[in-house]
Amino acid sequence: MELSKLHKNVKIRLLDVFINSLSSSMYFPFLAIYFASRFGAELTGVLMIFTVIFGFGAGLYAGYFSDLIGRKKIILGAAFARSLGLLLMILTNTPMFQSTVITFIAVLIISACGAITEPVAEAMVIDVTTTENRKSVYSVMYWFSNLSVVIGAVIGGYFFSTHLLIILTISFVLSLVSVLMISFFITDTYKPAGESTVKSRWGVLKDIGLQYKRVSMDVTFMIFTLATLLFFTLEFQISNYIGIRLAKELEFQNLLTLGSFHLNVDGTSMVGLLNAENTILVVATTLIIGKMMKQFNSLRVLIIALLIYTGGTFILGFSNAPILLLVAGFIATVGEIMFWPIRQAYLADLIPENARSSYMAVNSFVVRGASIIASLFITIGAFVSPIIISSLYVVIGLLSIWLFIVSIHKISYRKNAKTLA
């Protein structure tokens, strides 16, 4: 795939993904610490949950209107509101004036804007890509996103606590760049079939409810969504049960000795190494692996990728051997890299043109739902052994594979039927 041949909207979206991921990763991962030091851990947890729920609702609302009025208006409005939210954060974290409550309101605005942008921007990318180039586009987008997160997390890790105002100012400037790019370079290629005839507030809410009822009745899409949710349930284990288990069980020990240099690890540092390994591999190999996989059957690659990922997660669930854990992490990451662009390409083929944003808004639920399910494994792990948890990972992985096979066969049947018609 040559980037120069892609539609202008895709090129701008790639840059926008990099800019916004870089901006948000400099401060967002550290906000829980920020609020906990001011509100307390208990209230902070409630506020973070409320932020997620509020964002999901905003995403559903935006997905509905995007299918009615087009993509650009929604994306540009969200980008502008994000800039205002960051400006509000700057004004409430100066030496002259500080307000944690107003800062939270600003974070709520920024979170909602991210939730609004994601499904609409994904629908926009689908609008201007083809079945042939989508896997390559999603591979590049996945790489851009991970690279920006690495850079942003390093900057934020070093400077968030001591130079918060500078971090927020940089993020604000980046958000303005995003607004300008969207405003001047994005073109709205999606042409809605017609305007909504519903005018009253309750009528709009009823119309939204009917739209998402239609989405939920798409059996193929819901099976595909459930399969994805199960995959994310496994992916989130490293920050839930696996991370907690390693912190408790893995004793301080030597991992590597080179002359006078000794690399020692305990459970917590092992989790850090696994996360670093994942990030480095994704950044270093995503484009290479994506190019290699293009020549193979997509469904077979997806099945192999999920089997590899499930096998790696199975080992991570019970092993306390650092070298074996790193090998398992490597295996799981390779499976993740193989899986992601193919899954995104199938999703794009699945959703109807006149409701892409609405479908993508529902699709965004899988991350939040999987996060909740993954956290339940912490409680389950308190009562059963690690090998039982690992066995459950295998069951979830195999069930995810089966659901993907069922849904993808239905997608192929739907495409063939449409072609014959």
Residue 84: both structure tokens together: 């205002």
Whether 194 has a pLDDT exceeding 60, the answer reads no
Between 168 and 115, the higher pLDDT residue:
168
Domain boundary, last residue among 169, 195, 221: 195
Residue pair 271/243 in contact (Cβ under 8 Å)? The answer is yes
- Are 144 and 227 found together in one domain? no
- Are 121 and 228 found together in one domain? no
- Are 42 and 148 found together in one domain? yes
pLDDT of residue 319: 93
Q: Which residues pair with 265 in a beta bridge?
A: 253
Between 177 and 379, the higher pLDDT residue:
177
Residue 86: both structure tokens together: 């960051």
pLDDT of residue 87: 96
pLDDT of residue 399: 98
- Are 148 and 51 found together in one domain? yes
How much is the average pLDDT of 234-246? 86
Report residue 204's pLDDT band, with 50, 70 and 90 as the boundaries. low
Q: By residue range, what is the domain housing residue 286?
A: 211-421
How much is the average pLDDT of 2-25? 88
pTM of the model: 0.81
Phi and psi torsions of 228, nearest 5°? -65, -40
Q: What is the pLDDT of residues 53-100, one digit of tens each?
A: 888 888 888 888 888 888 899 999 999 999 999 999 999 999 999 999
Task: Say how many C-beta atoms besides its own lie within 10 A of residue 240's C-beta.
Answer: 18
Report residue 421's pLDDT band, with 50, 70 and 90 as the boundaries. low
CA–chain centroid gap for 321, Å, is: 30
Poorest-pLDDT segment among 114-123, 223-232, 407-416: 407-416
Residue pair 378/302 in contact (Cβ under 8 Å)? The answer is no
Residue pair 247/271 in contact (Cβ under 8 Å)? The answer is yes
Residue 128: both structure tokens together: 């201007």
- Are 179 and 225 found together in one domain? no
Q: Distances from the Cα of 71 to the Cαs of 114, 134, 235, 261, 296, in angstroms?
A: 14, 19, 30, 55, 33
- Are 187 and 229 found together in one domain? no
Poorest-pLDDT segment among 97-111, 222-236, 254-268, 306-320: 254-268
CATH number at residue 162: 1.20.1250.20
**Number of folded domains that form the chain:** 2
Domain boundary, last residue among 147, 164, 195: 195
- Are 170 and 237 found together in one domain? no
Q: What is the pLDDT of residues 132-177, one digit of tens each?
A: 788 888 888 988 888 888 888 878 877 888 889 999 999 999 999 9
Quick one: residue 68, left, alpha or beta (phi over 0 = left, psi -120 to 50 = alpha)? alpha
Q: Which residues pair with 263 in a beta bridge?
A: 256
- Are 222 and 276 found together in one domain? yes
Report residue 386's pLDDT band, with 50, 70 and 90 as the boundaries. very high
- 124: nearest Cα among 22, 209, 6: 6
Q: Is residue 317 part of a domain?
A: yes
| CA geometry: angle 21, 27, 30, nearest 5 deg | 125
Averaged confidence pLDDT in the chain? 87
Q: What is the DSSP string of 16-30?
A: HHHHHHHHHHTTGGG
Please report where in the chains the tokens 């991570």 appear, as a residue. 316
- 135: nearest Cα among 349, 412, 304: 349
Whether 275 has a pLDDT exceeding 90, the answer reads no
Q: What does the radius of gyration of the chain's CA atoms come to, in whole angstroms?
A: 22
Q: Is residue 378 part of a domain?
A: yes
Question: What percent of the residues of the chain are helix, what percent strand, and what percent coil, each to the nearest 5?
Answer: 80, 5, 15
Residue pair 264/253 in contact (Cβ under 8 Å)? The answer is yes
Report residue 391's pLDDT band, with 50, 70 and 90 as the boundaries. very high
Q: Is residue 102 part of a domain?
A: yes
pLDDT of residue 193: 65
193-196 LR contacts (CB < 8 Å, sep 24+): 193/354, 195/68, 195/69, 196/68
pLDDT of residue 385: 93
- Are 252 and 130 found together in one domain? no
Phi and psi torsions of 338, nearest 5°? -65, -40
Q: CA-CA distance, 32 to 39, in Å (whole number)?
A: 10
Q: CA-CA distance, 167 to 174, in Å (whole number)?
A: 11
Poorest-pLDDT segment among 31-45, 114-128, 274-288, 387-401: 31-45
How much is the average pLDDT of 225-244? 90
Task: Kindly provide the b/e burial profile for residues 54-84, where b requires at least 16 CB atoms within 10 angstroms of the residue's own CB.
Answer: ebbebbbbbbbbbbbebbbebbbbbbbbbbe
Q: What is the pLDDT of residues 340-350, one digit of tens each?
A: 999 988 998 88
Q: What is the DSSP string of 133-175?
A: THHHHHHHHHHHHHHHHHHHHHHHHHHTTT-HHHHHHHHHHHH
Residue 356: both structure tokens together: 């892409």
- 143: nearest Cα among 132, 151, 131: 151
pLDDT of residue 240: 80
Domain boundary, last residue among 153, 169, 195: 195
Q: Is residue 103 part of a domain?
A: yes
Whether 197 has a pLDDT exceeding 60, the answer reads no
Report residue 30's pLDDT band, with 50, 70 and 90 as the boundaries. confident
Q: Is residue 411 part of a domain?
A: yes
Q: What is the pLDDT of residues 284-303, one digit of tens each?
A: 898 889 888 888 899 999 99
CA trace torsion 153, 155, 156, 158 (10° rounding): 120
3-state SS class at 253: strand
